[in-house]
Amino acid sequence: MVSPSHPNGTEIGRLDGKVVVVTGASKGIGKATAFAFAAAGAKVVLAARTRETLEQVAVALKKNGAQALAVPTDVTSVDAVKQLIQQTLDVYQHVDILINNAGIGHFGPVVDFEPDDWDAVLNSNLKAVYLCAKYALPSMLEQGSGQIINVLSVAAKVTFQASSAYCAAKAGALALTKVLASEVRQQNIRVTAVLPGSVHTPFWDGVPEHPDFEQMLTPEHVADTIVSVCQQPPGMVTEEIVVMPPLGIL
Ligand SMILES: NC(=O)c1ccc[n+]([C@@H]2O[C@H](COP(=O)([O-])OP(=O)(O)OC[C@H]3O[C@@H](n4cnc5c(N)ncnc54)[C@H](OP(=O)(O)O)[C@@H]3O)[C@@H](O)[C@H]2O)c1
């Protein structure tokens, strides 16, 4: 059977040879996204802070025949992000796709919320998106193409009690995404915000009051959405996608 193809002859759905950097790739949505990109033929660079879990993902991907590189990285650190991109360039020469997915949640009413927790949430969910984009962009600009997908949350648009830092960070990251898209669209770099509802991942470990896990999205739902955006043909851009559990906000 002949595979469907674009007029330029490339097989639809394949991302062979594309170099994809996925932050937060050791668990949850990021890990599922790394597997989904590898299944589509991409070379995957994995970033997260915890070396052991990150390397376990790299080993599993390689066992499946994929090319994978684990680069332990704290995405809130300028030096660490520079090092992540440099190692990617040293090994694979360019960056085609950046998935800004790493993020954390700390929750509690403003009156009780600690300043250190505020900084941690803002740095991981907002500053890191800017840092990774800033240092990945030169390679994309040089090759005249690229794609950046920022994994945000419905919390970018809907506010929840006890989630001030998280909602502020995600709303800020949505604004950042729109500014970035407008800055680089002329250079053939496509920028997309993905806003999931609740997803059953380790994100919820330690959050006592959480929605029903049974009703949540799976990490694979979000991963498949992210990869499908990267499989879209040239000549279009998906700027924003909201992915919800069938029951809506839980
Ligand atoms: N789960 C949900 O319901 C949900 C819904 C909407 C949006 N989201 C968003 O989706 C993204 C992924 O969430 P998830 O549910 O997959 O979370 P998760 O299972 O807790 O995984 C988070 C990942 O991010 C990494 N990470 C956290 N801080 C980091 C840092 N400073 N530097 C590098 N890596 C870091 C973690 O690894 P290390 O700890 O080893 O660094 C881990 O790999 C987040 O941005 C989250 O806000 C989640």
Mean pLDDT of the chain: 96
Residue burial 146-165, b: 16+ Cβ < 10 Å; e: rest: bbbbbbbbbbbeeeeebbbb
Looking at the chain, the whole-number percentage of residues with pLDDT higher than 70 is 95
CATH fold, domain 19-243, is Rossmann fold (3.40.50)
Mutate to test the pocket of ligand 1, among 23, 54, 82, 101 (most ligand atoms within 8 A of CB): 101
100 CA: nearest ligand 1 atom: 45
Query: Ligand 1 within 6 A of 76 CB?
Result: yes
Query: Ligand 1 within 6 A of 174 CB?
Result: no
10-24, 64-78, 79-93: segment of lowest average pLDDT:
10-24
Residue having the nearest C-alpha atom to atom 23 of ligand 1: 24
Q: In the chain, what are the domain boundaries?
A: 19-243
User: Per-residue pLDDT for 65 more than 60?
Assistant: yes
Q: pTM of the predicted model, to two decimals? A: 0.97
pLDDT of residue 3: 46
Query: Ligand 1 within 6 A of 199 CB?
Result: yes
109-159 confidence digits (pLDDT tens): 999 999 999 999 999 999 999 999 999 999 999 999 999 999 999 999 999
135 assigned to active site: no
Instruction: In whole angstroms, give the CA distance from residue 38 to residue 95.
Output: 15
Instruction: In whole angstroms, give the CA distance from residue 85 to residue 236.
Output: 27
161-179 confidence digits (pLDDT tens): 999 999 999 999 999 999 9
CA dihedral 136, 141, 39, 235 (to 10 degrees): 140
Query: Ligand 1 within 6 A of 146 CB?
Result: no
pLDDT of residue 206: 86
pLDDT of residue 5: 57
